[in-house]
Structure 1
Amino acid sequence: MQLPTTDIAIQTDRLTRSFGSNVAVRELNLTVRSGEIFGLLGPNGAGKTTTIKMLTTMLPPSSGAATVAGHSILCDSIGVRKRIGYVSQMISADGALTGFENLLLFARIYNVPRRKRTQRIDETLAFMGLTEARDKLVCTYSGGMIRRLEIALSMLHRPEVLFLDEPTIGLDPAARLQVWKRLKELLETFGTTILLTTHDMEEAEELCDRIAIMKEGVIAAEGSAEELKQRAGTESMNQVFIHFAGEFSDSKPNFRDINRARRTAKRLG
């Protein structure tokens, strides 16, 4: 049964992206409900980041269509961008600025009304547990603090949908738990729909209401963690991943993506 439009945050219709003869995402049909945390899993080269880039209008699809927060990525890219937040693997915060200054810059970019900026920034810093670091240079922040600041930057304009590309990569266990806590609070407090990619199976099981596992540009399996475990006949999410994505990925390794992930992990660590 098809969901009412108001209950759908993201919907794709045969969404496809090719790079020459290489089909990175092949006729993807995906539905993400409003107010849920949805995990997009898969080996390197499976098409996860390409999918996010299309949904955030950073990359045009080769064919197919999609809507995000009710707006077409093909016909209304501006409408989509106004309603989303995005945290990539790469560090986006400026280390030469304070936390407050980073947020002030983003407040101007997102056209937060001048009279509301300071209050909105302080509220956002408090929500992310960064009030005491407000006037400290970001280059002095720990990896977990940087990730929380980047999430703060992405949610400053109160987006309806938040995209996170491996949000806890390179973080120690304590910092990772802090990020998980803030993401859950985002959903509970603001009703933000979250789509995230991760290679951390514990993270997927802890955070995600539903999970899709991609392989070679298509969805190999979709459901809750418990549903996927039952289908795979295992209690381990790592075994679930191997069952549906394969023990050895046939996807072509992407040197740039691997190098980028390692640099991000090094900088956050």
Structure 2
Amino acid sequence: MLPFVPVAVEIDNLVVRYGEKTAVDGLALTVAAGTVTAVLGPNGAGKTTTVETCEGFRRPDSGSVRVLGLDPLADHDELMPRIGVMLQEGGAWSGVRAVEMLRYVATLHAHPLDVPALVERLDLGSCGRTPYRRLSGGQKQRLSFALAIVGRPELAFLDEPTTGLDPHGRREIWQLIRDLRDDGVTVVLTTHAMDEAEQLSDQVHVVSAGKVIASGTPDSLTEHHTKSLEDVFLELTAPKRETR
């Protein structure tokens, strides 16, 4: 008998439309608890819409979504304290100081991470008194990551967490993601960085045109490293050419 593996996210036949446009078209996937799962796909594939539906920010047209056993819409107030969310577009008020915002979010949780230690690790000390709107792109990115994890979530949704970071900042985020997994946190990672997915993920789902078109471990998808994950991704998502 196979061992029971608890599921943190379960999506079945999800459909989300924007007017006449179908952004997510019958998508199904599961995320095992305590793992890092990467969701890859070209722009417009439906990745962000799927994640926003899991977070309770989008209403599905049909299908079902369960996150930590809860309905993200019906159980939104119960779910939100248990998850961390890193949005593509900021996530902080424009006039608030960086560390002030982080301290405030920490007070909303029963057992937050140590804020000074997180500030030091993410190199936010030098911009601690700077308003959010004046932060550089990399500083905003690091702050958004800190805001997503400071509450010790059971599940963290990280949308393009290393975009715009220098190599040192990128590697520090990678190590923090590994630390989250070691602490039993489930991580759902959307990224365009193939090396990031290959280095960090236990499971990868490739999404195209609103559907999952391939799933597996990085090792299985790359045929035990005989191909790169980028090669596999490009093969799977290449536009189909019409035959004459």
Q: What's the CA shift string for 1:85-120, capped at 9, x where partnerless?
A: 111122234564443301123235xx336xx77x84
Partner of 1:216: 209
Q: In structure 2, which of residues 109, 113, 117 is the aligned counterpart of residue 112 of structure 1?
A: 109
Is the CA contact (8 Å cut-off) linking 1:211 and 1:224 kept in structure 2? yes
Q: In structure 2, which of residues 143, 167, 187 is the aligned counterpart of residue 194 of structure 1?
A: 187
Partner of 1:176: 170
State the one-letter code of the partner of 2:24: V
State the one-letter code of the partner of 1:197: T
What's the secondary structure of 2:222's corresponding residue? helix
Q: Distance in 2 between matches of 1:184 and 1:247?
A: 34
Q: Distance in 1 between matches of 2:159 and 2:169?
A: 17
When normalised by structure 1's length, the TM-score is: 0.78
State the one-letter code of the partner of 2:169: A
Residues 95 and 24 of structure 1: is their aligned pair in 2 closer, same or farther, counting only changes over 3 Å?
Answer: closer
Offset of 1:200 from its aligned partner?
0.9
* Structure with more helix by fraction: 1
2:68 matched to 1:69? yes
Offset of 1:52 from its aligned partner?
0.6
Partner of 1:259: none
State the one-letter code of the partner of 1:246: A
Q: Distance in 2 between matches of 1:74 and 1:141?
A: 33
How many residue pairs match? The answer is 240
2:12 matched to 1:18? no
Q: What's the CA shift string for 1:65-100, capped at 9, x where partnerless?
A: 111112112421222212111111222345644433
Partner of 1:229: 222
Alignment of 1:47-66 (within 5 A): 47-66=46-65
Is the CA contact (8 Å cut-off) linking 1:66 and 1:74 kept in structure 2? no
Report sequence identity in percent.
Answer: 34
When normalised by structure 2's length, the TM-score is: 0.86
Unaligned runs of 5+ in 1: 250-269
2:141 matched to 1:151? no
Is the CA contact (8 Å cut-off) linking 1:25 and 1:51 kept in structure 2? yes
Unaligned runs of 5+ in 2: none
Q: What's the CA shift string for 1:7-33, capped at 9, x where partnerless?
A: 111111211111223221122221101
2:99 matched to 1:100? yes
* Range with bigger deviation, 238-247 or 160-169: 238-247
State the one-letter code of the partner of 2:109: V
